[in-house]
């Protein structure tokens, strides 16, 4: 099962506070493990402040007030940029033909100059799983999975992403139970 370009939707019984109520976008998945970004957990940090910290001036109105997201508990001091269109930056992982993940500063320099991607989500930190770990969590009913939709990542307010991801499965949040069952 390849989980790349899938949403992981945390089940109500998710005990880990890093992931409770979260939607994670899987950027990479192989037999060595998985890497994803939580896409619905904005922090109090705004892009303008982040740019100031890395000595870039961000004056473009719609970007400067956007939040930086908590991408996960691993390497929380490091920035990760999900973006459309892919572009050619020095450290970019293509996820689909439309979406890429960039970890190099040059994507943010392009944004500051007004030539960056048209849509992006910036996180500090990422979510990572070792070999077989994520598959095991899915088997234990910790996560629901569904093919990702870019408009949920880039166009929706953070507080609507969880429900929107569930709707892709035809599930209503009220119908979810914290109990796992096997017939």
- Walking along the chain (183 residues) 10 residues at a time, the average pLDDT comes out as 94 88 97 97 94 83 87 95 91 94 93 90 97 95 96 97 94 63 46
In a domain, 181, yes or no: no
Range of the domain at 114: 6-175
In a domain, 168, yes or no: yes
Query: Number of structural domains, the chain?
Result: 1
d(CA 163, CA 161): 6
In a domain, 183, yes or no: no
In a domain, 1, yes or no: no
Question: Rg of the chain over CA atoms, in angstroms?
Answer: 16
In a domain, 143, yes or no: yes
Question: How much is the pLDDT for 131?
Answer: 96
In a domain, 166, yes or no: yes
d(CA 169, CA 145): 8
Question: How much is the pLDDT for 81?
Answer: 96
In a domain, 18, yes or no: yes
Question: How much is the pLDDT for 176?
Answer: 64
**Residue of 128, 107, 139 lying closest to 24 (CA atoms):** 128
């Amino acid at each position: 099962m390849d989980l790349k370009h899938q949403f992981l939707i945390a089940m109500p019984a998710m005990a880990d506070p890093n992931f409770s109520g979260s939607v994670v976008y899987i950027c990479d998945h192989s037999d060595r493990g998985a890497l994803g970004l939580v896409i619905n957990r904005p922090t109090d940090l705004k892009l303008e402040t982040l740019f100031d910290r890395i000595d870039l001036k961000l004056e473009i109105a719609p970007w400067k007030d956007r939040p930086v997201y908590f991408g996960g508990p691993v390497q929380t001091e490091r920035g990760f940029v999900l973006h459309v269109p892919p572009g050619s930056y020095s450290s970019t992982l293509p996820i689909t033909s439309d979406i890429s993940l960039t970890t190099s500063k040059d994507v943010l320099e392009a944004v500051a100059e007004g030539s960056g991607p048209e849509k992006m989500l910036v996180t500090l930190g990422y979510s990572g799983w070792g070999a077989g770990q994520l598959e095991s969590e899915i088997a234990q009913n910790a996560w629901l999975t569904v093919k990702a939709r870019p408009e949920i990542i880039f166009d929706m307010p953070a507080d609507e992403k969880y429900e929107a991801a569930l709707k892709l499965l035809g599930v209503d949040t009220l119908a979810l139970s914290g109990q796992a069952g096997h017939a």
